[in-house]
Structure 1
Amino acid sequence: MSTSSSSVFEPTALLTHPVIQAPMAGGASCPGLAAAVSEAGGLGFLAAGYKTPEAMYEEVRQVRRLTGRPFGVNLFMPQPGTADPAAIDVYRERLADEATRYGTQLGETGGTTDDAYEAKLAILYDDPVPMVSFTFGCPAGEVLERFARLGTRTVVTATSVAEARAAQEAGAGAVCLQGVEAGGHQGTHRDDPRDEPGSAGVGLLTLIAQVREAVRLPLIASGGLMRGGQIAAVLAAGAVAAQLGTAFLVTPESGAHPLHKRAMTDPLFTRTELTRAFSGRPARGLVNRFLREHGPYAPAAYPQVHQLTAGLRRAAAEAGDPQAMALWAGQGHRLARELPAGELVETLAAELTAAREALS
Structure 2
Amino acid sequence: MWTETRVTRTLGVRLPLVQGPFGGGMSSTKLAAAVSEAGGLGSFGANHLDGARIEATIRELHGLTSRPFSINLWVPLEGERELRPSPEEFQASVERLKPWFDELGVPLPAYPSAFAPDYEEQVEAVLAMRPAVFSFIFGVPSARILEACRARGIITVGTATHVAEGLALDQAGVDLIVASGSEAGGHRACFLRPVEEAPATTALVPQLVDQVRTPVIASGGIADGRSVAMALALGAEGVQVGTAFLACEESNASDAYRRALRNPEAARATTLTRVFSGRYARGIRNRFMKELTPQERDIPPYPIQNWLTQPMRQAASRQGREDLMSLWAGQNAPLIRHSRAAELVDFLEKDTTRVLGRLAAL
Q: Above 0.5 in TM-score? A: yes
**Counterpart residue number, 2:218:** 221
Q: 99-108 vs 215-224, which deviates more? A: 99-108
Cα distance between partner residues in 1 of 2:183 and 2:300 = 20
| Aligned mates of 2:138, 2:52 — CA distance in 1 | 22
Q: 2:127 matched to which residue of 1? A: 125
Select the structure that is richer in helix: 2
CA contact (8 A) 2:75 2:139 kept: yes
Greater mean deviation of Cα atoms: 241-250 or 168-177: 168-177
Deviation at 1:294, TM superposition (A): 0.8
Q: Does 1:96 align with 2:94?
A: no
Residues 278 and 153 of structure 1: CA distance in aligned 2, closer, same or farther (over 3 Å): same
User: What is aligned with 1:181?
Assistant: 183
| Matched residue SS, 1:157 | strand
Relative distance call for 1:218 and 1:87 in structure 2 (3 A) is farther
Q: Which residue of 2 aligns with 1:66?
A: 64
Q: Which amino acid aligns with 1:343?
A: E
- The TM-score, its normalising length taken from structure 1, stands at 0.91
Number of aligned residue pairs: give it.
348
1:22 to 8, 20, 23: 20
Alpha-carbon separation, structure 2, partners of 1:317 and 1:290 = 13
1:292-303 aligned within 5 A: 292-298=290-296, 299=299, 301-303=301-303
Q: CA RMSD in A?
A: 2.1
State the 1:153 CA deviation. 0.8
Distance 1:218 1:130 in 2: 17
Deviation (angstroms), 1:267: 5.0
Structure 2 CA distance for partners of 1:315 and 1:127, relative to 1, 3 Å? closer
Shift of 1:236: 1.4
Change (3 A) 1:87 1:228: farther
Tell me which residue corresponds to 1:284: 282
Is the 8 Å Cα contact of residues 158 and 178 (structure 1) preserved in structure 2? yes
Superposed displacement of residue 10, structure 1: 3.6
CA contact (8 A) 1:279 1:309 kept: yes
CA distance change for structure 1 residues 114 and 309 in 2, over 3 Å: closer, same or farther?
closer
Residue 262 of structure 2 aligns with an amino acid whose one-letter code is T
Cα deviation for residue 268 of structure 1 reads: 5.7
CA deviation map 1:63-105 (0-9, x unaligned)? 1111111111101112423768477654433222111111113
Describe the superposition over 1:186-220 as per-residue Cα deviations: whole angstroms up to 9, x where unpaired.
Answer: 1112586xxxxx63321001001221222111111
**Residues 1:96 and 1:175: Cα distance change in structure 2 (over 3 Å):** same
Identify the structure with bigger relative contact order (alpha carbons < 8 Å, sequence gap 6+): 1
Match of 2:158 in 1: 156
Q: CA deviation at 1:115?
A: 3.0
Task: Quickly say closer, same or farther: Cα 1:319–1:127, change in 2 above 3 A.
Answer: closer
**1:212-265, Cα deviation, whole Å (9 max, x unpaired):** 222111111111211122011101111111001101011121111111111112
SS at match of 1:95: helix
Match of 2:207 among 182, 199, 210: 210
Classify 1:87/1:221 alpha carbon distance in 2 versus 1 (closer, same or farther; 3 Å).
farther
In the alignment, what sits opposite 2:142?
140
TM-score (norm 2): 0.90
Question: Aligned partners of 1:190, 1:296: CA distance in 2, in Å?
Answer: 26
**Residues 9 and 129 of structure 1: CA distance in aligned 2, closer, same or farther (over 3 Å):** farther
Aligned position for 1:335? 335
* 1:180–1:186 Cα contact (<8 Å) kept: yes
1:232 maps onto 2:234 in alignment: no
Q: Deviations over 1:11-62 (max 9, x none)?
A: 2342111111000012232111011101110110111110122222112111
Counterpart mapping for 1:288-327 below 5 A: 288-298=286-296, 299=299, 301-327=301-327
- Contact 2:138–2:189 (8 Å) recurs in 1: yes
SS at match of 2:18: strand
Amino acid at match of 2:58: V
Cα displacement (A) at 1:112: 3.8
Q: Distance in 2 between matches of 1:206 and 1:199?
A: 14
Give the aligned partner of residue 245 of structure 2: 248
**AA aligned opposite 2:98:** A
The structural deviation recorded for 1:333 is 1.0
The residue matched to 1:37 in structure 2 has which SS? helix
* Partner SS, residue 248 of structure 1: helix
Change in CA separation of 1:111 and 1:274 when aligned onto 2, cut-off 3 Å = farther
Counterpart in the other structure of 2:76:
78
Deviates more, 1:80-89 or 1:310-319: 80-89
Q: 2:164, 2:192 within 8 Å by CA — same for their partners in 1?
A: no
